[in-house]
Chains A and B, each alone.
Chain A
Amino acid sequence: MLQEVTRQAQPRRRLGSRLGEKTFAVLMTLPGLALLAAVVVYPLVAALVSAFYKQSLLFPGREFVGLDNVRAVLNDNFSQLLTQTLVFTVGTTLLPFVIGFGLALALNTRIRGAKVLRGVMLIPWLVPGVVVSFLWMWIFNANYGVLNAILQGLGIIDDPQAWLAKPGTAMAAVIVAKSWQSFPWMMVMLLAGLQTVPRELHEAAEMDGAGVIRRFRSITVPHLKGIIGLVILLEIIWNFQHFDIIYVLTGGGPAGSTQTFATAVYETAFRSYDLGRAGALGLLWMLLLMVLVVVYIRFTEAGEE
C-alpha cells in the first residue's frame, strides 16, 4: 500500500518540478530575447520594409512605392557595387588566409622563439579598426609615406604614388590594411587546428618515406578541413559587411571605387537621407548575406553532430 502511494506520487512530483524547470529555463532567456528583438530583429525588419517606401531620414511620413527603390538601385551602378564588394571580400579573405596559414605552419614547427612569435604576431589583431586605418593612411601617404620611400629605395617605383587617391590602387590598399588586421585571427584558429593533428601520424608517414609536401597534403589538410572551412566562411561573412576601415581610409572613394554595400548603405541613409533606397540596397545585401549565413549554420550544425 505504502509502496504504491510513493510510486504514484513520485512521477507526479517529478513531472511537476520539471514543468517548473522548463518555465524557469524559458524565463531565463526572456531578457536577452527582448533586448535582441528591440535592437536587432525589429530594426532589421523595419529597415527592409522601408525598401518599399519613399522615405527620408529628415522628415516624417512615407509613401508606398512598391519596387521602385529596388529598381532604381539595380539601375544605378549596382553591378559595380557588387563587383567591388566581392573583390574586397575575396581579397580580405584570401590574403589573411595565406598569411595566417603560412605563419601557423611555420610557428607550429620547432623553430626557436616560436612561442614568443605566436604572441607577438597577434599585435595587429589587437588594434582597433580606426587605428588600423590611421596607420595605413600614414603608410600610404602620397607625400611623406614610408611605403613610397621603401619602394623607391628598392627601385620598384620611380615616383611617389598617391595610393589612396587612384581608383586602381585604392582598393588594393584597403584590402591590405584590412588583411593586416585579420590575419592573426586566421593564424590563431589554424594553429589551434594544427595542434590537434596527432604527431604520431606525421612520424609514421615520415617513416614510410612521405615527404613534407606529401604529408601536408595527405595529413595536415584533411585534418584541418573543418577549421579551414569555418574560418573562410566566417571571414567572408564579416568582410562582406565590413565598414570601419574602408570608411576611414577612403570613404568609399576615389570616385566610388572602394564603395561596398556597407559604405553605400551608410552614405545613402546618412548623406543622402534616402531611407527607401538604403532599405532597397540593404534588402539585396541581406539576400546575399542570408545565403552565407545559412551555409554557416548548416556548417556548425554538421560540426556539432
Chain B
Amino acid sequence: MALLSTARPDLPETASTAAQTRRRNRRSPLTSERRSVKISAWITVGVFGGFALLPVYWLLATSLTPRTSVFTYPPSIFPARPTFEAYRALTENAALFGYLRNSIIVSVVTALLSVVVSASMAYSFSKYRYRGRRSLMYLVLASQMFPQALLLVTLYAVFSAYGLLNTYSALVLSFTTFTLPLCVWMLKGFFDTIPNELIEAARVDGASPLRIYVTIVLPLAAPGIVAAGLFAFVRAWNDFIFALTLAGPDKQTLPPGLVNTFIGEAATAWPELMAASLVVSLPVAIAFIALQRFLVGGLTAGAVKG
C-alpha cells in the first residue's frame, strides 16, 4: 500500500519530463515551419471566414437600420442610429403570425409522424436479417434523392383529386418524402449501437419482440429519437417548394409566406425582411445547438443535410 502511494506520484512526473524533452527536441528545427503553418491558417480563416460571416453581419445590421435610410448609396456599414422598428413592425403584421402558426403545426406534426414511422423501420433494418432487407434499405436511401420538383407534379394532382390541396395534411405528407429517409438512416445508426446481447437477454427471459422494442430499445435510443425528430423538424421548417405549391396563403408556412409578403413589391422593406429572416432562422439555430453532439455522427451515418 505504502509502496504504491510512493510510486504513484513518480509516474506522471517522468511522463511529463519525457514529453517536455520530446517537445523541446521537436521545437528547435521546425519553428519556422510551424509559424508559416499558423500564418497560412490565419489567412485562410480570415478570407473564408469573412465570406462566411460578413453576410451574417449585414443581415443583422440591415435589420437594425431605419426603414428610410436603407435606400441610400453607398450604404453605411454601421447603422448610424440602430433601431428595433423593423422588429416592431413584424409584431404588427398579422399575416406573419398566421404563417408562423402554420409552420409550427406542420413541422411538429411532421417530426412526430416521421419519428414514429421511421423508428420501427430503422429497428427492423438494424437488428433483423431477412431477405430483401438490403434492397429496402437502399430504396429508402435513394428515395431522398428523387427530385422534389418531379414528385410535386404528381403530388399536386393526387392531393387535388382527394381534396387535400391547401390542408396541413398535404404539407405533412409531402414533407415526409424527405424526413422519413433521413430519420430512418439516422435512427438505424443509433439502434446499431445498442448491444445485441441486451435484446438477446430479454428474449431468453421470454419477452415478446414488440415488448423488447417498446420497453428496452426505445428508451435506450431516446436521445437518438429526439435528435432525429429535431432534424425532421428543421427540414420541415425550411421547406419551400412543397409549401409554396401545395398550400394557399392561409395554410402556407413561413418560407413561402415571407416570399409572398416581401418579394415582388416595388420597394422591398429590407430591414423588415432581414429582421423576419433572422427570426425564422432562430428555431433552426436553437435546434442545432441542441443537436451538436449528434451532428457529425448522424451526418455521416445518414449522409443527410440540414
Q: Hey, which bits of chain A sit against chain B, CB under 8 A?
A: 17, 20-22, 24-26, 28-29, 31-33, 35-36, 38-44, 46-48, 50, 57, 99, 102-103, 105-107, 109, 111, 117, 119-131, 134-139, 143-146, 148-149, 152-153, 160, 180, 182-185, 188-189, 192, 203, 206, 211-212, 230, 234, 237-238, 241, 243-244, 247-248, 261-263, 265-266, 269-270, 275, 278-279, 282, 285-286, 289, 293, 296-297, 300
Contact = CB atoms under 8 A, between A and B. Distances in A.
Interface of B: 26, 30, 33, 36-38, 40-42, 44-45, 48-49, 51-53, 55-56, 58-59, 62, 70-75, 77, 117-118, 120-121, 123-125, 127-128, 130, 136, 138-143, 145-158, 173-174, 176-177, 180-181, 184, 203, 209-210, 213, 237-238, 240-241, 245, 255-256, 258-259, 262-263, 270, 273-274, 277, 280-281, 284-285, 288, 292, 295-296, 299-300, 303, 305-306
A44 B146 contact: yes
B51 A109 contact: no
Contact of A144 (B51, B75, B262, B306): B75
B149 A243 contact: yes
Contact of B44 (A103, A139, A244, A269): A103
Contact of A124 (B52, B77, B213): B52
Contacts of A36: 139-140, 143, 177, 180-181
Given A32-B120, A39-B174, A128-B280, A105 B255 contact: no
Contact of A121 (B49, B121, B157, B237): B49
A43 B147 CA distance: 11
Nearest to A296: B145
Contact of B274 (A111, A138, A289, A297): A138
19 contacts: A25-B124, A32-B180, A33-B136, A36-B181, A43-B151, A44-B151, A109-B37, A128-B238, A130-B258, A131-B277, A134-B277, A152-B74, A189-B300, A211-B33, A241-B149, A248-B240, A261-B149, A278-B153, A282-B147
B245 A144 contact: no
A206 B88 CA distance: 59
Contact of B238 (A24, A129, A296): A129
A57 B209 CA distance: 47
Given A25-B127, A41-B143, A262-B148, 7 more contacts: A31-B120, A47-B153, A111-B41, A126-B281, A138-B58, A188-B295, A297-B141
Contacts of A20: 209
Interface SS, A side: helix
Instruction: Report the 5 A-B pairs with minimum CB-CB distance, sorted nearest first.
Output: A43-B154, A25-B128, A32-B121, A149-B74, A28-B124
Contact of B303 (A33, A99, A234): A234
A107 B46 CA distance: 11
Contacts of B127: 25
Nearest to B40: A106
A263 B37 CA distance: 44
- Most chain A beta-carbon neighbours within 10 Å: one of B124, B173, B262: B124
B81 to A, nearest CB: 18
B241 A185 contact: no
Given A44-B146, A206-B30, A39 B173 contact: yes
A180 to B, nearest CB: 6
B156 A286 contact: no
Nearest to B241: A243
- Most chain A beta-carbon neighbours within 10 Å: one of B56, B285, B292: B56
A293 B147 contact: no
